[in-house]
Structure 1
Amino acid sequence: MPQPGVEREAVIRVRGLRNQFGAQVVHDGLDLDVWRGEVLGVVGGSGTGKSVLLRTIIGLNKPAAGEIEVLGVDVVNGAAEERHKVEQRWGVAFQDGALFSSLSVLQNVQAPMREHLDLSQSLMDALGALKISLVGLPQNSCPKFPSELSGGMRKRAALARALALDPEIVFLDEPTAGLDPIGAAAYDELIGALQRALGLTVFMVTHDLDSLYAICDRVAVLAEKRVLVEGPIEQMTEVDHPWVREYFMGPRARAAQQKG
């Protein structure tokens, strides 16, 4: 988390973003800053474009208008070489893991290394095993295929792959979706520990109130095609908006508050 009194650095800067699919406008005039070293939770109702925002920032979706800078690089209109270099400075774990089904866990983790680095196989084996250990998976999971893993183990394997290139920023799309409460809490704890140990900036799309209270420094609420409000989770209860009130002041929110 950025230290109080220290000037904040925006490692992600979004201005005037417009995402549109045919006649459907998902975002219009969306602005957002993500500060170095923070865990930002991005929330919003169904159809507000949480995952679309993530995919647009990492270049999987071309916006209709707007500017996006990541680590000082224009990732919308910048030079291809610059964009390629900055992509090595972030890692992504998608909601379902998106692991290659025909590759082992170790081979999945090594995939970014093969694409971006020139390393010997023995060094990739050692680094891959280290990343797998870092996310709390046993070494006997290295030769296993995604189909042989539980849902929670697949999410950890995907996180290990996201960490393969020692990124500065990690993007997580609904990281605790489908996990039981114990597994979700353990995953939150893992993310928090890795963020502190590695100095990561974490951009996390989530609907999980427990995660917001457990590890997020700030929350950005998507509504009305933009970031309606952003700030510490404690401030969300002061926002006079129907969805925000229901989400952050409903019975599930009160339960999550008590846990946090």
Structure 2
Amino acid sequence: MSEQFAEDQKVHGVPSIEHDGDILLSARGVTVGFGPKIILQDLDLDVRKGEILGFVGGSGTGKSVLMRAILGLTPKRTGTIKVFGYDLAKASEQERKTVERRWGVLFQQGALFSSLTVKQNIQVPMREHLNLSPRLMDELAGLKLELVGLPQDAADKFPSELSGGMVKRASLARALALDPDLVFLDEPTSGLDPIGAAAFDKLIANLSETLGLTVYMVTHDLDSLHSICDRIAVLGEKRVLVIGTIDEMMKNEHPWVMSYFRGERALRRF
């Protein structure tokens, strides 16, 4: 743990980072930049097994950048990222594949392949990691559709034929294709109306409980943070400023945290 992070924890009353066996994802001293611009610097974070962690921060602070760095899509300059106990920078190709089979990802806007049907999109991870018959993949895709609350006739539709809420659910079905232990959700309720967003939150909470999923969720949605997140991590000043429950966020005295959780807009909402 960096000395600066430890000091900030004392100042803002945040519990110390844990080191027990319940930590599924651990980041230490992570720095990410593009050219001369540093986006994240000396960042530390733990994600506990079985929790729904909400990850928030101002626009452009690097929330999606950190998620992509964890996934290996954006290179980090320094630091260590461990998932399921594997140091991803030192993992062999086989170990990396093992890790990737145990996580699923829902990107912003869904990121479905426009030229593939919903069923074919769900089957992409199966084709990459498994050796299954077409019939079995069809059956599994149907099960995933049912799991996320989509009708079976959605299987043969293309993304352009779906509503925004259906795109989110289809993308979640693809993220669940390999029965992962850890799911990354990048702004899962953005673009949805309040009713659709609430239904999606309920779906995430139910899946987490019934499947034992650990959920890493980047979001701006205050309703999601209040209703389904076990803990919330706040990104700012290129690092995790504070981490804790919603009650702890409401009591925190950091200026940005106060503005976000106890500002005029937030108080009108709750």
TM-score by length of 1: 0.94
Q: Which residue of 2 aligns with 1:103?
A: 116
The 2-side partners of 1:74 and 1:193 are apart by 30
Matching residue's letter, 1:190: L
**Which residue of the other structure, out of 109, 125, 139, is the alignment partner of 2:138?**
125
Matched ranges for 1:149-164 at <5 A: 149-164=162-177
**Which residue of the other structure, out of 90, 102, 108, is the alignment partner of 1:77?**
90
Q: Which residue of 1 aligns with 2:39?
A: 26
Residue 40 (structure 1) aligned with residue 53 (structure 2): yes
The 2-side partners of 1:25 and 1:245 are apart by 25
CA contact (8 A) 1:62 1:76 kept: no
Residue 144 (structure 1) aligned with residue 148 (structure 2): no
SS at match of 1:54: helix
Residue 113 (structure 1) aligned with residue 129 (structure 2): no
Matched ranges for 1:148-227 at <5 A: 148-227=161-240
Residue 239 (structure 1) aligned with residue 239 (structure 2): no
The 1-side partners of 2:21 and 2:50 are apart by 9
The 2-side partners of 1:19 and 1:87 are apart by 21
SS at match of 2:64: helix
- Displacement of 1:75 in angstroms is 1.2
Indicate how the Cα distance of structure 1 residues 255 and 135 shifts in structure 2: closer, same or farther if over 3 A, else same. Answer: farther
The 1-side partners of 2:193 and 2:69 are apart by 29
The 1-side partners of 2:223 and 2:135 are apart by 40
Unaligned runs of 5+ in 2: 1-19
The 2-side partners of 1:49 and 1:17 are apart by 12
Matching residue's letter, 1:91: G
Task: Give the number of equivalent residue pairs.
Answer: 251
Unaligned runs of 5+ in 1: 1-6
The one-character-per-residue Cα deviations of 1:217-249 (angstroms, maximum 9, x if unpaired) are: 000000111000000011112222221111010
**Which residue of the other structure, out of 134, 138, 158, is the alignment partner of 2:147?**
134
Q: Which residue of 2 aligns with 1:4?
A: none
The 1-side partners of 2:253 and 2:243 are apart by 13
SS at match of 1:33: strand
Q: CA RMSD in A?
A: 1.0
Matching residue's letter, 1:121: P
- Displacement of 1:252 in angstroms is 3.0
The 1-side partners of 2:134 and 2:195 are apart by 36
TM-score by length of 2: 0.91
The 1-side partners of 2:60 and 2:48 are apart by 26
Indicate how the Cα distance of structure 1 residues 219 and 8 shifts in structure 2: closer, same or farther if over 3 A, else same. Answer: farther
SS at match of 2:91: coil
- Displacement of 1:157 in angstroms is 0.2
The 2-side partners of 1:187 and 1:251 are apart by 26
- Displacement of 1:57 in angstroms is 0.6
SS at match of 1:144: coil
- Displacement of 1:8 in angstroms is 5.5
Matching residue's letter, 1:185: A
The one-character-per-residue Cα deviations of 1:148-169 (angstroms, maximum 9, x if unpaired) are: 0001100100000000000000
The 1-side partners of 2:90 and 2:62 are apart by 22
Q: Which residue of 2 aligns with 1:12?
A: 25
SS at match of 1:219: strand
